[in-house]
Every structure is written in C-alpha cells, then in structure tokens.
Amino acid sequence: MGRILEKRLAEAGYRLLGGTENKEELILDLLKTKDARYLKAIPFLIYQYNPDLDWIYQKTLQKGILGQIISFTKTIFAEKNINKQLPNISGKGDLNYEEFKQEFDLQRYNTEKPQLMTEKQKAYAERDLQMWLSQLFTKKERQIMKRILNEKPVSKTDYEYYSRKTKKKLSGIINIQDFAKTLYTKSPRYDQELFRLKKLLEQWLEESEKYKEINIQRFSVFDEDKIFIYFEQKLEPGQNCGTSKNLEEIKNQEILKLLEKYREQDFD
C-alpha cells in the first residue's frame, strides 16, 4: 500500500498539484496507514485543497488520529497567520507536532519556491532514494553501489559480488521499465467465486480420481454436458494431465451452479 500512496501523493501534488485526485479519499487512505510518514502530508493537503473534514471524520475509523492532526493544523495555521476555518474536531494520539510542522513548512516552500533546493530537500531526496534502494538491494549492495557511484575503489571481493549479483539486478531494472510502468497502472481484479470454483474442482478431482494435490491450469465446458480439465500434480511439476468428464458425474450443486457462470477459464 505504501508504494501506491506515494504515487498518489506525487500525482496529487505532494509536491502537489494534481487536480483529479479526490483529496477526501486520499486523506482517508492516509489515515488507514496510521504511519506518520504519510500522515504528515495531511496538514498541507488541508491547506492546499480545503477538503471536507467533517465528511472525512464521519468516514474514518481513525478519529483520534484525525482529531490530533486537525489540532496540529490549527496551531500551524495560527503561527503562520493562515486564515482558514477548520471544524472543532480534536483527538488524542502519539504524533509529534514538530515533525508535522517541519513537513508543512517544507511542502509549502516547495510549492511557493520550487526553483530553490535547500539542504533539507536534498536530505529528503537522499532519504527517499535509500528507501527505494532498500526494497531491492541488501545493505552490502547499497554500500558497494555508493562507492562505485562516487568513483571510489572497491575490494576484489566486493567487485566480484557486484558483478555476480548487483549488476544483474540493475540490468533487470533497466530492461523491465516499460513493463513495470504498464503493470503499475493496472489494478488487480479479484474474483472470489472463480477461484472458489477452481478449488472445488480440484478437491472433486482429487477425491473422484485419487489424484494428489492437483493444480488446475484451465477448464472448459463443451457439448453442454461435458467438462475438460487440464491440470498438473503439485508433486510432479511439469507433468500435465487432461481429463474429460460428464457434468452428471458432479454431485456438488455449488460446482454446477458456478459452472453455469464460468464456462471456461485459463489460469496460466
């Protein structure tokens, strides 16, 4: 979820200013994380977009956190002479006011003076880079890459480690950029009934044919009263099997009902 929120914050202008993002929904999602890294964005979102805080308060389960953030925001606005009316909502939490204030100041500065880059911004950029690198590379790999990037010598052992492992990762990252960008824009589609049917068919085959731990790869209903099932046994990976059955052999009414909805499916 963290990656998705960071992408949405960037698109919404955090370094903000996208106009299509529903800011109320975005704030609700930030509250769900209960993570201060994301919660610190909320005062600036309030400043920039005037979201409906009463509506958000009614919807969120994190009322205490939201109340404390609104209190922080009121204090920040008062100190900065920002004239905005906020609802009388308060709450208790363990958030740090100074961190929220510093984040607000930084984001406001980014918006109003984007041509300047302070040392704090550089530190934030380095922090973000290290966060992304840590999701892909070990600490040892990051240390070696930093030395190479700064054109510093490395030991023979580190050189061999980099060539054998890290460089291959970097090559993979470079080569799958278009694929990753395309995949990232797509939302997974979850179909509980379909995979319920798959599980039931697997159990039925295991019981009726004495197969062990099968994995259905595809199935199709044909001639209105028959089903063809293509599968592999998990204990013999790569050994694919196919079987054709009459639907009347299936006594499980839940399977038959689901087969009326799903006539064929490929799980590869």
Averaged pLDDT in 10-residue chunks for the chain of 268 residues: 58 47 88 91 92 93 93 93 90 90 87 63 82 92 92 93 94 92 88 92 87 88 92 78 90 93 90
Contacts of 108 (CB under 8 A, 6+ apart): 44, 47
Q: What phi, psi does 245 have (nearest 5°)? A: -130, 150
Q: Cα(65)–Cα(93) distance, rounded to whole angstroms?
A: 6
- The helix (H) or strand (E) run that includes residue 243 is strand 240-246
Beta bridge partners of 216: 231
> In terms of DSSP H, where are the helices of the chain?
2-11, 23-33, 36-39, 42-49, 53-59, 63-79, 97-112, 119-134, 139-149, 156-161, 167-175, 177-184, 192-209, 253-261
Burial class of residue 207 in the structure, from the number of CB atoms within 10 Å of its CB (0-12 exposed, 13-18 middle, 19+ buried): exposed
Cα 26-31-36 angle, rounded to 5 deg: 110
Q: Cα(114)–Cα(209) distance, rounded to whole angstroms?
A: 68
In this prediction, residue 235 carries a pLDDT of 73
In this prediction, residue 42 carries a pLDDT of 94
In this prediction, residue 16 carries a pLDDT of 42
Provide the whole-model pTM.
0.43
Q: Cα(71)–Cα(260) distance, rounded to whole angstroms?
A: 56
In this prediction, residue 8 carries a pLDDT of 59
Beta bridge partners of 266: 218
In this prediction, residue 113 carries a pLDDT of 66
Beta bridge partners of 13: 16
Enumerate the domain spans of the chain.
2-115, 136-184, 192-266
Would you state the structure tokens that stand for residue 267, as one six-digit string?
């799980």
**74: DSSP letter:** H
Sheet with 226-233, side-by-side order of all strands: 240-246, 226-233, 214-222, 264-266
